[in-house]
Amino acid sequence: MSTWILRRPALPALAWLRQWQPRLATETAILGAAVFFSLAGNGLFWRSALASHPGSARLALALLLVLTGLHCLLLGLLAWRWNAKPVLAVLLVSTLFAAHYMDRYNIYLDADMIRNLLATDRKESRELLTASLLLPLAQSLPPLLLLWRMRLNRHGLRRALLRPGAFLRASLAWVAGGAMVAPQDLSALLRNQREVKYLATPANLLVGLPRALRGDSPIRHAPKLPIGTDARATARLPGSKPRLLVIVVGETARAANWGLNGYARQTTPGLASAGVINFPDMHACGTATEVSLPCMFSPWGRHDYDQARIRGHQSLLHVLEHAGISTLWRDNQSGCKGVCEGLAIERLDDAARPGLCSGDRCFDGILLDGLPARVRARPGDRVVVLHPLGNHGPSYYDRYPAAFRHFTPTCDTPELGRCSRQQIVNSYDNALLYTDHVLASTIALLGRMDDYDTAMIYVSDHGESLGEKGLYLHGMPYAIAPEQQTRVPMAMWFSAGFAADRKLDLACVRGRAAAPADHDLLFSSVLGLMQVRTALYDPRRDLFAGCAASS
């Protein structure tokens, strides 16, 4: 009796749900999805677009019509009766998840950011899988249920072919009509805030994804075209020690928090004691690793930027190999992004070294473990690249051992929204303090390798936003990126033997360091420092030209 009473109310509801199957035209479903996207998946878009026109109902209406019409147009090209439900389902979930991260960190989704997301490894992805994702997941359930239950109308062949064209024309008219509601305000917005287009979701995904996959990409790989095959190293004097240059490509270190640059906190005590040459006005080629790494190791860089050409060709390391200088890439991050393709690479992020590794992460000190032996395994001049985890967010607290928890209180969660800005900065500075320790340890190790003439160049790939103007992390479109994401630290150290062998005037280099510099200088500077002759070498972009013996 009691069992029957408990079940009785549920039966009609379940029966009704099984019978409830609303019939809709495919175009009606697309329109409903477009309206949902405009209202539920574009919080950051609305806040940014209306910030300069608060309370403007005309502009708000114009944007609603244009945004909805644009999504109708894009979806009308992708969704047909036979695939509309899976396409809309995928877009519903991806839009709400994208909107969640965009709102939380003020992220702009352009092609470079999408490429960066596609290249994210499982460890980085795991750090972003937090309890806050339950919100967009819950938001997606009602529209997914509706989508699952609806039945799309069938049409004859003639109508099935004509209706999509009519729908696309209507969508274009919708966009045009929306633009006429507030033409002056809309024109001013698109002229003064062009970056707002990267916030319109899922339009940014639908437009950016094909661009991110074009040419060489994290998904589709294309063979690298050779460069610098004419490279030749200048002959060394008999009895000369081999040269060892270690290039440390820092991760997400920003110039603003670099102690050597005059930051209020001393985050670089080790480097200060080592007497390195510091470059206080250094600028990155990109705002994300996926962009900066290929760019800074290419001959074209930012000054002649061509993404397809940079990604489609070999790098500085290949040119060194052509010249007979062997290279090695040691990685504690997410790989070399094609820079070391086909060359020696050692992945250390999955190492099991007590004291340096725990769980599925290793501290950056692992990059020095066994380094001398790896260098000595091959004779002659060598260039080794160390790629640390550095200050990669949002889990800054997880980038340093407990002994480096100097600045407190810290933000001990990847959900930055649960921490104060000061806690976030404290964790970031602690990670930078540990980077300084690793760099100082690298210099000490190189100083003990007296069978080599040694040198070290440290430069970060890009910077980081820590709450300035509401921005966090990195990856903003370069044209609008704040300087916190584009200004990075760079420092150099040379052993006495290396400086003497290259007849390097360190006072001259210190003078050069005071001038503005950028990633574009790395390619020719390394070639010049290692005395490699090639047509790709540009003396105008060699920091050591005029400060060292010529090749």
The dihedrals phi and psi of 317, each to the nearest 5 degrees, come to -65, -35
* Residue 447, helix vs strand vs coil: helix
Q: Helices 203-212 and 111-118, interaxial angle, to 10°?
A: 70
The answer to whether the CB of 54 falls within 8 A of the CB of 189 is no
Long-range contacts of 294-299 (CB under 8 A, 24+ apart): 294/337, 294/338, 294/339, 295/519, 296/249, 296/459, 296/461, 296/519, 296/520, 296/522, 296/523, 297/339, 297/522, 297/523, 298/523, 299/227, 299/228, 299/523, 299/524, 299/536, 299/538
Give the pLDDT of the chain (551 residues) as one tens digit per residue. 333 334 445 546 555 556 667 777 888 888 998 999 999 888 888 888 888 777 788 889 999 999 999 999 998 888 887 788 898 999 999 888 888 888 888 878 888 887 777 777 777 777 777 777 788 888 888 888 888 888 877 765 555 555 677 888 888 898 899 889 988 888 888 777 878 888 888 988 888 888 777 766 555 567 899 999 999 999 888 889 999 999 999 999 999 999 999 999 999 999 999 999 999 999 999 999 999 999 999 999 999 999 889 999 999 999 999 999 999 999 999 889 999 999 999 998 777 788 888 777 899 999 999 999 999 999 999 999 999 999 998 999 999 999 999 999 999 998 888 899 999 999 999 999 999 999 999 999 999 999 999 999 999 999 999 999 888 999 888 988 999 999 999 999 999 999 999 999 999 999 999 999 999 999 999 999 999 999 999 999 999 999 998 75
The bridge status of strand 382-387 relative to strand 243-250 is parallel
pLDDT of residue 185: 83
Q: Residue 503: which region, alpha, beta or left (left: phi > 0; alpha: psi -120 to 50)?
A: left
Gyration radius (Cα) of the chain, Å: 28
If one counts every other C-beta atom within 10 angstroms of the C-beta of residue 342, the result is 12
Q: Is the dihedral of CA 438, 439, 441, 442 positive or negative?
A: positive
How far apart, in Å, are the Cα atoms of 531 and each of 216, 513, 524? Answer: 31, 20, 10
HSE-up of 424 (CA within 13 Å, CB side)? 21
d(Cα 29, Cα 265) in Å, to the nearest integer? 56
pLDDT of residue 219: 55
Residue closest to 435 by CA, chosen among 418, 464, 460, 412:
460
The dihedrals phi and psi of 280, each to the nearest 5 degrees, come to -75, -15
Model pTM? 0.84
